[in-house]
Chain A
Amino acid sequence: MSQPRTRPIQKLAAAVAKCNTEAAAYGRCVIEDYNDVHRDKCAKAFMALKNCVVVASKKK
Chain B
Amino acid sequence: MAPAHARHLLPARLSQRRFLATASNPNAPPTFQVFNRAVKRLQRDRAAANKEASRNVDYLKDEVADRLVERILLINRPLPRVLDLGAGACHIARSLTKPRPDEPAPVASRISHLICTDMSPALLHRDADAPWNTELSIERIVADEESPLPFAESSLDAVVSSLSMQWINDLPGALSQVRHLLKPDAPFVAAMVGGDTLFELRTSLQLAESERLGGVSPRVSPLADVRDVGGLLQTAGFTLLTVDVDDIVVGYPDVFALMADLGAMGEGNAVLGRKEGPVGRDVLVAAQAIYRELHGNEDGTLPATFRIIYMIGWKASENQPKPLPRGSGQISMKDILEGSTTPSPGGEGGKK
Contact = CB atoms under 8 A, between A and B. Distances in A.
A13 B254 contact: yes
A41 B208 CA distance: 11
Contact of B289 (A13, A41, A49): A49
A19 to B, nearest CB: 9
B288 interface: yes
Contacts of A17: 254
A46 B257 contact: no
Interface string A18-46: 00001110111011001001111110001
A12 interface: yes
Interface residues of B, number: 29
A20 B293 CA distance: 10
Overall SS of chain A's interface: helix
Interface stretch (B209-217, B236-244, B267-275): B209-217
Interface string B291-335: 111100000000000000000000000000000000000000000
A10 B336 CA distance: 62
Given A12-B281, A28-B293, A38 B256 contact: no
B207 A10 contact: no
Given A2-B53, A12-B281, A16-B285, A39 B207 contact: no
B254 A27 contact: no
B152 interface: no
Contact of A27 (B1, B49, B213, B292): B292
B46 interface: yes
Nearest to A52: B285
A26 B292 contact: no
A49 to B, nearest CB: 6
Contacts of B60: none
A31 B211 contact: no
Interface residues of A, number: 29
A12 B256 contact: yes
Nearest to B282: A50
A54 to B, nearest CB: 10
A6 B289 contact: no
Contacts of B254: 13, 16-17
Nearest to A43: B211
B260 to A, nearest CB: 6
B256 A9 contact: yes
A23 B289 contact: yes
Contact of A38 (B210, B260, B286, B290): B210
B50 A26 contact: no
Contacts of B212: 39, 46
Name, among A37, A38, A50, the residue most crowded by chain B CB atoms within 10 Å (CB to CB).
A37
B98 to A, nearest CB: 29
B286 A30 contact: yes
A27 B287 CA distance: 8
A18 to B, nearest CB: 12
A1 B185 CA distance: 48
B207 A31 contact: yes
Given A12-B285, A30-B207, A31-B290, 14 more contacts: A2-B50, A10-B256, A12-B256, A12-B281, A24-B293, A27-B289, A27-B294, A30-B293, A39-B210, A40-B211, A40-B214, A42-B211, A46-B282, A50-B285
Interface in B38-72: 46, 49-50, 53
B224 interface: no
Contacts of A49: 285-286, 289
Nearest to B255: A13
B117 to A, nearest CB: 26
Contacts of A28: 293
